[in-house]
Structure formats: C-alpha cells, structure tokens
Amino acid sequence: MEKERLFGKTLDELKAVAAQVGLPKFAAKQMADWLYKKDIRSIDEMTNLSVKGREALKEYYEFGLTEPTKVQASIDGTKKYLFPTDHAKFIETAMIPDDDRKTVCVSSQVGCKMGCLFCMTGKQGFQGHLTAGEIVNQIRSIEENGEVSNIVYMGMGEPFDNLDNVLKSIEILTDDWGYAMSPKRITVSTIGIIPGMKKFLETSNAHLAVSLHSPFDEERKQLMPIQTAYPVQKVLDEIKSWEFGRQRRVSFEYIMFGGLNDTPAHAKELARILNGIKCRINLIRFHPIPDTPLKSSNEETLQSFKDLLNSKGILTTIRASRGQDIYAACGLLSTKALVKKEE
C-alpha cells in the first residue's frame, strides 16, 4: 500500500490523522510542530508522540519530504533546483538572493495549459497539478531552508488553475501552527483567472501580481490566449473592487517585446487602464526562447517606457534579470526534456 504524506497536511487534516491512528487530539498540533517548525525528516524523530503512536502512524503515513535531484548555481548567485514529483515528472524552483533577502520562486504545476506564446513552461504543455505538500517542499527541501525571506508563486504553472492546493500551501506557510510567515512576504502571480483570483483575495492577505503584457485586447489575445475567457478589462474591474495599499499590494508584470508592446502608445494606454488602482508595474526583459519570433526590447526603449509610466504617476521599475545562464530567469523554466526521458 502506498503511504500518504504527512507533510502538506493542514492542522485540521492532522486532527483527522490523529483520530484515525488512535493518537490523542493534541497530537495534531505536535505533528504540525514537527512538520513545519523543526528540522527533522522522519516520523521516528517525532519523539513527543508515544512509540506506539508513531508505529501506528507509520503504517499509513510517511513524513513526506522530497530532496531535489539537481542543483545549478548561476554566476549571479541564483540557484535552480530540480524536484521529482509523482509519476516521474519534474518541476523547477528558483532561489534568488538579493542583499539580505532570499526569494524562492515556486512552481504550482508540472508544465502549464495556458499556452502563453512567450513561455517555455507553456510550450511544455500540462502534466499535472502539484499538491500543497509539493509546493511547500520547494521551500523546505532547498539548501536555504530556514533563511527564505520571500516567496513568489511565479515558477511553472498558473497558480489559480490549481487553486485549492495553492490556497492550502499559503495556509501552511502563514498559519500559526505552520510556518507562521507574514502574508506580506508572499506574492502570487496570475495571468488573470478571475474566479481563482477572487477566492484568493477573499481568503488570503498575500500580495497579488497580474501579468498584463499588453493593454490592447487583440494583441494580448495573441500573446495570452486567456484574454478570450478573461479579458483584461474584467480582471481590472475585479481588482478595483478590492482595497490595495499598505497591507496588501497589487503589481502588474509587463514583459517588454521589441517592436511589439513597447511603444509610447502602449505606455499611455497602460496608464489609462490602470488609472485609479494603487499599484506598481514591473517591466521584465524578455529572454528569447526557441522557435519564437518575439524579440527583447532594447535598453533605451525599456528606460523611456519606464520614464513615461512614472511621469503618468504609475510607479514603474525594471526587474533585474537573474539566473539567465542557468535558465532560471522568468519564462525559462521547463522540464519537458526530462519528462520525455522518464516516460
């Protein structure tokens, strides 16, 4: 019988586990402490549970951590971890150090079904959802475990296409019985799946990032097929009905494609549609991927695009490219070759 993993269970789920194996109710909290607050990796090390209780637990459950099978380090300090998931699939996780911060960019799915034109993960197609445990494991099982300051859900996959597991992972990361991290240190990035975004805003105080990439409907549709189901104007209308500012922030991601979405007309239209939203825009350099006609904008264009938006009162920054030499930069994560090899 395949054993279930304890790592990735919420306190309520651990209460059910305790009842199932005949442990007292308070053992759920003890298990949560061992899983999320201490540096152990096996049920045998949960020494405040009775020996009999641990044996009963081991009949059905395993601790449930997964080690990375490969680590690559960039010349700029960024690291990329490769984790196996169930059914011989793989996901990638990036760790980006910056002064005293260590940001981990986690994946939420194996591949992705959203088909954005500029993205390697999108080209890989969809191979499965990650469980909450597999998402949190990307923070727990890296060398920087214990030093992580920020978490961004910007790796492989669309988080709101795997909403339940993503929300559960945020619960584990932020609840007192879990990692007790401030939601202010967590950002979830979406291409704008409105129902998922709504539920996320209702249940979590983590920050939201929305990928725009064009303010014009037809052009955005070419870059991001999701525009047909959830037009950007509807996404922005939803965002306008929530309060953003000091506690929870919303930012917009904008990849700059040379000669396509980097003109002054784009900047002006962006400023117009974002009018009234307290936000920030992150401009991202495009890293060319194989078989694409898309190009990067040049530095001068990037700078003047940024200046124009700032002059319109929208706080705009250019995101530093990190980990490009190890394909850990934005839009470059893919485990397609590995998936094929293992199947």
Token pair listed for 208:
């939201």
Nearer to ligand SF4, 184 or 199 (CB): 199
Using the rule CB under 6 A, is 114 a contact of ligand SF4?
A: yes
Least Å distance between CB 191 and ligand SF4? Answer: 5
Closest CA to 28 of 40, 18, 36: 18
Least Å distance between CB 212 and ligand SF4? Answer: 12
Using the rule CB under 6 A, is 121 a contact of ligand SF4?
A: yes
Q: Which amino acid is at 291?
A: D
Nearer to ligand SF4, 116 or 194 (CB): 116
**Cα–Cα distance between 132 and 141 in angstroms, integer?**
14
104-116: string of b/e by CB count within 10 Å (b at 16+)?
Answer: bbbbbbbbbebeb
Using the rule CB under 6 A, is 328 a contact of ligand SF4?
A: no
Find tokens 């923070």 and name the residue. 139
Residue 220 CB contacts under 8 Å (≥ 6 apart), including other chains: 212, 213, 214, 227, 232
Active site residue 105: no
Using the rule CB under 6 A, is 116 a contact of ligand SF4?
A: yes
Nearer to ligand SF4, 136 or 191 (CB): 191
Strands (E), the chain: 4-5, 61-62, 70-73, 79-85, 89-98, 101-105, 109-111, 126-129, 150-153, 186-190, 207-211, 250-256, 279-285, 315-319
Active site residue 330: yes
Residue from 53, 68, 84, 122 in contact with ligand SF4 (CB under 6 A)? 122
266 is in an annotated binding site: no
Nearer to ligand SF4, 245 or 293 (CB): 293
105 is in an annotated binding site: no
Least Å distance between CB 158 and ligand SF4? Answer: 4
φ/ψ (deg, to 5) at 286: -80, 130
Annotated binding site for S-adenosyl-L-methionine: 157-158, 189, 211-213, 287
Residues at the site binding ligand SF4, with contacts judged by CB under 6 A? 112, 114-116, 119, 121-122, 156-158, 191
User: Residues marked as binding?
Assistant: 112, 116, 119, 157-158, 189, 211-213, 287
Binding residue numbers for [4Fe-4S] cluster: 112, 116, 119
